[in-house]
């Protein structure tokens, strides 16, 4: 059985996807619990297809823009089923339109927030230039190499 590397029939282990997308196995299993992905099984082990990989990508992208997993689920379902009752679809349509509105206004918020942060950066740079100019171009780790504390999450990165 040729595994055909790089072909669309390629499959992935849970850890491969986790490394590629920087998440944990627990998260993937959690998404599966919620019905967002349904990988095949080889015995006990999960086997993710290219389609599964694409779904995961959409899930994470959705998360980053503030969608709840349940909402992401609705979107994903749509791509599989294509329909499931006209009124149900009408509801989805209305919701999606709402979401588009929200996202576009959110993009505005982002622009504003970036402005605020850039302002803050300017202040900080001014201050540092006068006191400790050598700290100006350091990345975070160079200043304080931190580890995640137990329970600490990486949010919205």
Partner DNA sequence: AGGCGAGCTTACGTTCACGTAAGCTAAGTC
Partner DNA sequence: GACTTAGCTTACGTGAACGTAAGCTCGCCT
Taking the complex as a whole, the smallest distance from the CB of residue 82 to DNA amounts, in Å, to 24
Is 29 a binding residue for DNA by CB under 7 A? The answer is yes
CB atoms within 10 A of CB 59: 24
Report the b/e string of 64-88 with b at 16+ CB within 10 A: eeebeeeebbbbbeeeeeeeeeeee
Quick one: tokens of 99? 């979401």
Q: How many residues bind its own copies (CB under 8 A)?
A: 61
Is 57 a binding residue for DNA by CB under 7 A? The answer is no
Question: With CB cut-offs between 5 and 8 Å by kind, which of its own copies, DNA, none does residue 120 bind?
Answer: its own copies
Taking the complex as a whole, the smallest distance from the CB of residue 71 to its own copies amounts, in Å, to 8
Is 99 a binding residue for DNA by CB under 7 A? The answer is no
d(CA 21, CA 17) in angstroms, rounded, equals 6
Closer of 35 and 90 to its own copies (Cβ): 90
Closer of 25 and 133 to its own copies (Cβ): 133
DSSP-derived pairing of the beta strands 40-42 and 45-47: antiparallel
- For its own copies, the binding residue among 30, 40, 61, 80 (CB under 8 A) is 61
Closer of 18 and 128 to DNA (Cβ): 18
d(CA 65, CA 157) in angstroms, rounded, equals 10
Question: With CB cut-offs between 5 and 8 Å by kind, which of DNA, its own copies, none does residue 15 bind?
Answer: DNA
> Dihedral angle at the C-alpha atoms of 58, 77, 5, 11, nearest 10 degrees?
100
Taking the complex as a whole, the smallest distance from the CB of residue 11 to DNA amounts, in Å, to 11
């Amino acid at each position: 059985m040729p595994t055909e590397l790089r072909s669309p029939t390629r499959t992935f282990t849970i850890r491969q996807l986790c490394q590629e997308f920087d998440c944990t196995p627990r998260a993937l299993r959690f998404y599966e619990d919620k019905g967002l992905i349904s990988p095949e099984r080889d015995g006990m082990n999960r086997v993710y297809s290219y389609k599964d990989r694409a779904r995961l990508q959409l899930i994470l992208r959705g998360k980053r823009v503030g969608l709840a997993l349940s909402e992401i689920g609705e979107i994903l379902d749509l791509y599989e089923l294509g329909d499931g009752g006209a009124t149900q679809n009408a509801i989805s349509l209305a919701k999606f339109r709402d979401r588009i509105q929200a996202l576009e206004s959110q993009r505005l918020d982002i622009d504003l927030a970036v402005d605020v942060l850039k302002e803050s950066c300017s202040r900080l740079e001014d201050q540092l230039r006068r006191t400790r100019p050598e700290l100006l171009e350091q990345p975070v780790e160079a200043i304080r190499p931190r580890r995640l504390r137990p329970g600490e999450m990486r949010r919205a990165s």
